[in-house]
Chain A
Amino acid sequence: MSGSLRVRNALTNSTASIAGALFATLVLISISDKALAQENEEIDFSAALETRLAYVITGVDEVDRISEAGMRGLTQFIGSRTALEPGDPIGLDVEVDELSFYSFIYWPIDPRAEPPSPQTMARVDRFMKEGGSILFDTRDQISGILGGTSSSPAAQALQRMLSTLDIPPLEPVPSDHVLTKSFYLLDTFPGRYSGGDLWVEATQSNDPTEGRPARAGDGVSSILITSNDMAGAWAVDNTLRPMLPTVPPDPAQRNYAFRSGVNLMMYALTGNYKADQVHLPALLERLGQ
C-alpha cells in the first residue's frame, strides 16, 4: 500500500518536475507500452503477494470512507470464517494503478464523482477481459424505489460510464447460479438495502441451437451490478461495530450481506468450482471402476 501511495504522491506533487510530467504523459499516451511498464520499478506489487479487497476511489470523501470501512469489515469477516485471509484493503485509482493483480474490485457509483476518462474505461475493459470482475454498486435501491424507475442519478451515471464498454446481456442472479453456492447457500444478496437484484452476465443457454458465442475462460461474470449498498452494510469502525444501520434494521440482513460478500469473493477466486462439485459424487464413483 505504501508503494502505491508513493507512486501517486509522486504523480500529484511533482507534476512541475520534468521527469514527473514526462512520466505522466507517457502513461497517458501509451498505457499498453509494456517496455515502459517493465522499467517502472516503482510498481506496488503487494496485491500480487496476498489477496487484498480492492475498491475504487471515487473522489467523494464520504463514499470512499464507507468503501474503505466496508472492505475492512468484509476482510475481517472473511478472514475469521474462511481459509482466505485477505491483506489490508486497498483503494484503487483506476486511472493509474495496476489492476491485473486483483480478481475482484468493488466500485461504488456516485453521481458527484468525476466520470472516468475513455482511457480509464479502456483499462477497465482490459481488466474485465483478462478475467477480473467488478461489482458496481449504485447504492440507491431506496431512491430507486422512491423514484419508481431505475433512472436514479447514480444509475444514469453508471449507464453513461458503461456505454463505452461492450457489455454482454445481464440478468438477475438465477437460482442455480454459482454465486448462490460459492460458500454460503444464498438466495438473495442484500446490503444495507435488500430490495435490489444482483445482476450478472446472463449464463449461457443450454440450447445449442441459439448459437450464442462461447464465452472465453470459465464464464465468471466480469461485471456485477447491485443497488443494495453492499459496502454500507459491511462497514465497521475501529472497534468492529457496524457504522450504518441496515434498512430495515435487521441483524440477520447484515449477516446475509456479509455472506453475500464472502460468496462474491469466493466466486471471483474459485470461479465455477462449486458448480463443478455437483458432478463430484458421480466422478468419484467412476474412479476405480
Chain B
Amino acid sequence: MENLNLAFSPELPLWLIVSLSVLIAAFCIYGIYKQLRGSFIRAIAGALICLSLFNPAILQEDRTPLKTIIPVVIDETTSQRLNTREAQTQEAIDSLREQFADLDKFELREIRVRDQISTTSDVSSALFSAVESAMQDVPRDQIGGALFITDGQVHDIPQNPEQSGINGPLHVLLTGEENERDRRIVLKNAPRFGVVGESQEIVYSVEQTGFASNSPVQVTISIDGEVFTVETVIPGEDASFIFDVPHGGKNIIEFKAEIADGEISEINNQTFAALNGIRENLRVLLISGEPHAGERTWRNLLKSDAAVDLVHFTILRPPEKQDGTPINQLSLIAFPTRELFVQKIDEFDLIIFDRYKRRGVLPVLYFDNIARYIRDGGAVLVAAGPEYADVSSIATTPLNVVLPGLADGRVTEEPFVPRISETGEKHPVTRDLDGWNPEKPKWSRWFRSIGVDANGAGETVMVDEEDRPILMLQRHNEGRVALFLSDHVWLWSRGFEGGGPHVQLLRRLAHWLMKEPELEEERLIASSNGETLTLERQTLGEQPEDAIVQSPSGENITLSFEEDAKGIWKAELPVEEIGLYRVASGELSALAQVGPANPRELAAVISTSELLQPVVDATSGTINRISESGIPRIVAIGENATTSGRGWIGLVNANASVLNGVFRIPLFTGLLGLALLLLGFAATWFREGR
C-alpha cells in the first residue's frame, strides 16, 4: 500500500474539542490519582471519544507513473557534415535509440537542428533554443537531463551557464577528432558599395588552427569568377586587397586560401564579398548639328540623369555664315574639336550625333579616330534626320565602317506609327516599353524616317509599319553603336497625340550604349531569398542552354529554363546549403550567395569541447568524444546521485507521475467507530460494576 496518508477533519470547532478533551483528561487523571476502579479503562474510552471528535481518515492516492523525457539534440548543420562527423552522429543516434528502447522509464525525444538560412540571421547552430522550443509542452520536473550530439560549435550558448534551461545533467556526445586542423579565411572589412572605377579596399586574414608553423599562405583572389591576382599572406596577420570596382551592379570578389593536407574543412578556405558597384560620372558628349525642335528632348533627358555629366555642343553658326559681327557681341564659343575628338575622346562613355551634318567643322581624320574609339569600347549614337540621306551625311565619313546601316537616299515623310520589332520585343532596350501592344501601340505617330541599307550585323529593335528599320543597334568588339532613323522622337515629349514613352526609350538606349549591366541582351542573373535560388536568363534567342548550378559543396545540378516573358527565361531551385552558388548557362556565368556572406557556421568548424564545458559543468554533465570513448552506456540514476562514471552516463529518473484520484477511508464514523466506542464504554461499565 503506497501513497497512504492519515488526514484529520474535525466535525466541531477545535477549541471545543480541545476543552472537552482537557475536561475528560482531567477527570481521568483524577480517577487514576485516586486509584478509583476502572479509571484506566475509562481513560481509554475518553481518549476514543476525543479521537472520534477529530474525525481521522485514511487517504489513498491513485497515481500513474510517467516516463522521464530526455531531449536528444542532433546537430545537422553544415559543419556537422564534415569528414566522419555524419557517420559518428548516425552511430550515436542508433546506439541511443537502442539503449532507450530497453530503458522503459525514459522517453527519447529527438530534436534536429539544421542551418537556418536567411540573409539576416547568422545563428545556425542554435541548439539551446531548439531544446527550449521543442520541450515547451513538457513540465520541467519530467525532464531528466539532455543529450547533445554535436561538434561543439554551438552559437547560442548562454552567457550564464546556470541559466541553460536544461533540467538535469547535460551530456555531450562530441563528433569529430581531437587536434583537428583547419585553415580559414576571414574578411575583416569589406565595403558593400563602391563607385565604379574607383579603388576599394577589402581587409582579410588567414586564420589557422592546429598548424605547427606559421608559414605564408597563398591566397587566390577572383573577381566575378575570374582569377584576378594571387597574394602571399602570413596567417594571423591582416592583409588588404585594393582594386578598382569593375562594373555597376553586383561584383563578387572571392578569396581562396590554398588547401593544406588534412584540413577538416576546405569550404572555409574560401569566402567572398559582394560589392555593389554604383555607376556615376558617365560622360556623354552631345553634338547637335543645328538648333532643332528635338534638341531639348535629348538635352533634358541627359541633364535629368543624375549619373550623367553632359557636355553639349550645338553648332549655332556654321563657318560659312560668319558675317562680320564683332565677336564681343556674340555668345558663341569655338567648338574645341581637337580637344574633344582627339585628346579627350576616350574620357567619354557615349558620343551622340544629333542630326549632325558635315559642315567642315570636324576634319575627316577625326572620324577615323571616332571609329577607333568605338572599336576600343566607346559608344556612338547617331540620331539621324534627313541630312543622313544627303551628301553631307555622317555616313560619308570613315565612321561608315561602324554604322549598322548606310543611307539608301530615301527619306520617307509620311505618318507612321513606330513599332517594336520581334527582336525588339526581347531586347532590353525596347522590351515592355510603356504603351506597347502589337495591335495598336499607345503612342503618337511620327512623320519621317530615313531609309538605310542594313549591313546585317546589327539588331533592328524598332521598325516602321513596313518593317523598315527605325532603331538599329550594333556591337563592335567592346564598343556599341546605335542608329536612330527618325528624328521625331521629340513628338512624344511634346505630347503630340498623347505623346509616348520617350524618356524610357531614350534612357534605356543611352544606358545600353554605356554598357549598363541590366540592359545586356544576353544575361544570367542568379539571386536567392534564402530558400530558393532563382535564375533569370535574358536572351534574344530561343530556349537558352540548361543551367548548371554548382552548390557550395561542389555538387552539380542541371536546371532547364522556362519562358517567363518575351526574352526572359526563368528557373528555380530550392536550396538548403549556405554559401556561394555558381551558375553557368552556355558562356554566361553568375554567382549567388545564399545566407550571409561569411556564415559563422563555416567560420569555425574545429571540433571542440571548450565552448560547451561551462554549461556542462554547471549541470554536472559530461563531454564524451565519440572517436575516443565510443558511445557511453545510459544509466538511470536517482536525484542527487553521481551523474557519470567509467563508460556510463547517468540520466535522472524524475519519477514523475499523474494523480488520477484520492480514496478517503474515515476511521471513526460508521460501524467501526460505533463498535469501538461501545466497546470502551461497555468495558468501563463492566469494570465499575465489579
Give the docked Cα–Cα distance between A26 and B285 (Å). Answer: 46
Give the docked Cα–Cα distance between A83 and B314 (Å). Answer: 9
Q: In this complex, what residue of B is CB-closest to A276? A: B312
**Which one of B296, B445, B488 has the greatest number of beta carbons of chain A within 10 Å?**
B296
Per-position contact with B for A257-289: 1 when CB-CB < 8 Å, else 0? 000000001100111011011001001100110
Query: Which residues of the partner chain B approach A265 to less than 8 Å between Cβ atoms?
Result: 291
Q: Given known contacts A218-B299, A218-B300, is B330 in contact with A183 (CB within 8 Å)?
A: yes
Give the docked Cα–Cα distance between A288 and B289 (Å). Answer: 25
Query: Which residues of the partner chain A approach B295 to less than 8 Å between Cβ atoms?
Result: 269-271, 273
Whether A126 contacts B495 by the Cβ 8 Å rule is yes
Whether A185 contacts B494 by the Cβ 8 Å rule is no
Query: Which residues of the partner chain A approach B499 to less than 8 Å between Cβ atoms?
Result: 130
Whether A100 contacts B331 by the Cβ 8 Å rule is no
Query: Which residues of the partner chain A approach B325 to less than 8 Å between Cβ atoms?
Result: 81, 184
Decide if A51 is an interface residue (CB 8 Å cutoff).
yes
Report A36-81 residues with CB < 8 Å from chain B CB: 37-38, 41, 43, 45, 48-49, 51, 80-81
Decide if B339 is an interface residue (CB 8 Å cutoff).
yes
Interface set of B (CB-CB < 8 Å, partner A):
283, 288-293, 295-296, 299-300, 303, 309-312, 314-318, 321, 323, 325, 328-333, 336, 339-340, 343-344, 347, 359, 386, 413, 415, 444-445, 447-448, 488, 491, 493-499
Q: Given known contacts A83-B290, A182-B331, A271-B300, is B343 in contact with A288 (CB within 8 Å)?
A: yes
Whether A283 contacts B311 by the Cβ 8 Å rule is yes
Contacts A130-B495, A270-B288 supplied; 18 other A-B pairs, CB < 8 Å: A34-B444, A38-B445, A48-B293, A81-B317, A83-B315, A83-B321, A84-B290, A98-B496, A100-B494, A100-B496, A101-B491, A131-B494, A185-B329, A218-B299, A266-B316, A271-B295, A271-B296, A283-B311
Report A172-208 residues with CB < 8 Å from chain B CB: 181-185
Decide if A103 is an interface residue (CB 8 Å cutoff).
yes
Query: Which residues of the partner chain A approach B444 to less than 8 Å between Cβ atoms?
Result: 34, 38
Q: How far is the CB of A173 from chain B (nearest CB, A)?
A: 14
Query: Which residues of the partner chain A approach B315 to less than 8 Å between Cβ atoms?
Result: 83
Query: Which residues of the partner chain B approach A45 to less than 8 Å between Cβ atoms?
Result: 415, 447
7 contacts between A and B (CB under 8 A): A38-B444, A48-B496, A81-B321, A183-B332, A269-B292, A273-B312, A288-B347
Interface band, chain A: 35 or more
Give the docked Cα–Cα distance between A170 and B290 (Å). Answer: 30
Across the A-B interface, how many residue pairs have beta carbons closer than 8 Å? 136
Whether B300 contacts A217 by the Cβ 8 Å rule is yes
Q: How far is the CB of A172 from chain B (nearest CB, A)?
A: 19
Give the docked Cα–Cα distance between A117 and B79 (Å). Answer: 81
Query: Which residues of the partner chain A approach B332 to less than 8 Å between Cβ atoms?
Result: 183
Q: Given known contacts A49-B413, A82-B317, A100-B491, is B497 in contact with A34 (CB within 8 Å)?
A: yes
Of the candidates B289, B312, B323, which one forms a contact with A81 in the assembled complex, judged by CB atoms under 8 Å apart? B323
Decide if A90 is an interface residue (CB 8 Å cutoff).
no
Query: Which residues of the partner chain A approach B292 to less than 8 Å between Cβ atoms?
Result: 51, 84, 269
Q: In this complex, what residue of A is CB-closest to B286? A: A273
Decide if A132 is an interface residue (CB 8 Å cutoff).
yes
Whether B289 contacts A131 by the Cβ 8 Å rule is no
Whether A38 contacts B339 by the Cβ 8 Å rule is no
Whether B314 contacts A270 by the Cβ 8 Å rule is yes
Query: Which residues of the partner chain B approach A270 to less than 8 Å between Cβ atoms?
Result: 288, 291, 295-296, 299, 314, 316
Q: In this complex, what residue of A is CB-closest to B285? A: A287
Q: Given known contacts A83-B321, A269-B296, A273-B314, is B448 in contact with A49 (CB within 8 Å)?
A: yes
Whether B317 contacts A83 by the Cβ 8 Å rule is yes
Whether A83 contacts B318 by the Cβ 8 Å rule is yes
Decide if A220 is an interface residue (CB 8 Å cutoff).
yes
Whether B283 contacts A287 by the Cβ 8 Å rule is yes
Q: How far is the CB of B496 from chain A (nearest CB, A)?
A: 4
Query: Which residues of the partner chain B approach A181 to less than 8 Å between Cβ atoms?
Result: 331
Of the candidates B290, B311, B336, B497, which one forms a contact with A38 in the assembled complex, judged by CB atoms under 8 Å apart? B497
Whether B321 contacts A80 by the Cβ 8 Å rule is yes
By Cβ-Cβ distance, the 10 closest A-B pairs, closest first, are: A181-B331, A269-B291, A130-B495, A100-B496, A83-B290, A100-B494, A34-B498, A287-B347, A45-B447, A271-B296
Q: In this complex, what residue of A is CB-closest to B323? A: A81
Give the docked Cα–Cα distance between A287 and B348 (Å). Answer: 9
Whether A273 contacts B299 by the Cβ 8 Å rule is yes
Q: In this complex, what residue of B is CB-closest to A283? A: B311
Query: Which residues of the partner chain B approach A273 to less than 8 Å between Cβ atoms?
Result: 295, 299, 312, 314
Query: Which residues of the partner chain A approach B493 to less than 8 Å between Cβ atoms?
Result: 130-131
Give the docked Cα–Cα distance between A131 and B496 (Å). Answer: 11
Query: Which residues of the partner chain B approach A85 to less than 8 Å between Cβ atoms?
Result: 290
Q: In this complex, what residue of A is CB-closest to B296? A: A271
Give the docked Cα–Cα distance between A103 and B288 (Å). Answer: 17
Give the docked Cα–Cα distance between A217 and B317 (Å). Answer: 26
Report A82-125 residues with CB < 8 Å from chain B CB: 82-85, 98, 100-103
Per-position contact with B for A139-168: 1 when CB-CB < 8 Å, else 0? 000000000000000000000000000000
Give the docked Cα–Cα distance between A131 and B336 (Å). Answer: 30
Query: Which residues of the partner chain B approach A81 to less than 8 Å between Cβ atoms?
Result: 317, 321, 323, 325
Q: In this complex, what residue of A is CB-closest to B333? A: A277
Query: Which residues of the partner chain B approach A131 to less than 8 Å between Cβ atoms?
Result: 296, 493-494
Give the docked Cα–Cα distance between A55 and B564 (Å). Answer: 53
Give the docked Cα–Cα distance between A218 and B283 (Å). Answer: 19
Q: Given known contacts A183-B331, A270-B314, is B494 in contact with A284 (CB within 8 Å)?
A: no
Of the candidates B303, B339, B448, which one forms a contact with A284 in the assembled complex, judged by CB atoms under 8 Å apart? B339
Q: How far is the CB of B456 from chain A (nearest CB, A)?
A: 30
Q: How far is the CB of B373 from chain A (nearest CB, A)?
A: 14
Give the docked Cα–Cα distance between A271 and B301 (Å). Answer: 12
Give the docked Cα–Cα distance between A43 and B496 (Å). Answer: 12
**Which one of A48, A82, A270 has the greatest number of beta carbons of chain B within 10 Å?**
A48
Whether A184 contacts B491 by the Cβ 8 Å rule is no
Query: Which residues of the partner chain A approach B309 to less than 8 Å between Cβ atoms?
Result: 283
Q: In this complex, what residue of A is CB-closest to B340? A: A284
Q: Given known contacts A81-B317, A271-B296, A280-B311, is B331 in contact with A185 (CB within 8 Å)?
A: yes
Whether B344 contacts A287 by the Cβ 8 Å rule is yes
Query: Which residues of the partner chain B approach A34 to less than 8 Å between Cβ atoms?
Result: 444, 497-498
Q: In this complex, what residue of A is CB-closest to B488? A: A48
Give the docked Cα–Cα distance between A126 and B494 (Å). Answer: 10
Whether B317 contacts A48 by the Cβ 8 Å rule is no
Q: How far is the CB of A190 from chain B (nearest CB, A)?
A: 15
Q: Given known contacts A83-B290, A185-B329, A217-B300, is B316 in contact with A288 (CB within 8 Å)?
A: no
Q: How far is the CB of A42 from chain B (nearest CB, A)?
A: 11
Q: How far is the CB of B527 from chain A (nearest CB, A)?
A: 36
Of the candidates A38, A51, A83, A287, which one forms a contact with B316 in the assembled complex, judged by CB atoms under 8 Å apart? A83
Whether A183 contacts B316 by the Cβ 8 Å rule is yes
Report A227-258 residues with CB < 8 Å from chain B CB: none
Give the docked Cα–Cα distance between A37 and B445 (Å). Answer: 10
Q: Given known contacts A82-B317, A83-B316, is B495 in contact with A266 (CB within 8 Å)?
A: no
Query: Which residues of the partner chain B approach A80 to less than 8 Å between Cβ atoms?
Result: 321, 323
Query: Which residues of the partner chain A approach B312 to less than 8 Å between Cβ atoms?
Result: 273, 276
Q: Given known contacts A43-B415, A82-B321, is B330 in contact with A184 (CB within 8 Å)?
A: yes
Whether B496 contacts A101 by the Cβ 8 Å rule is yes
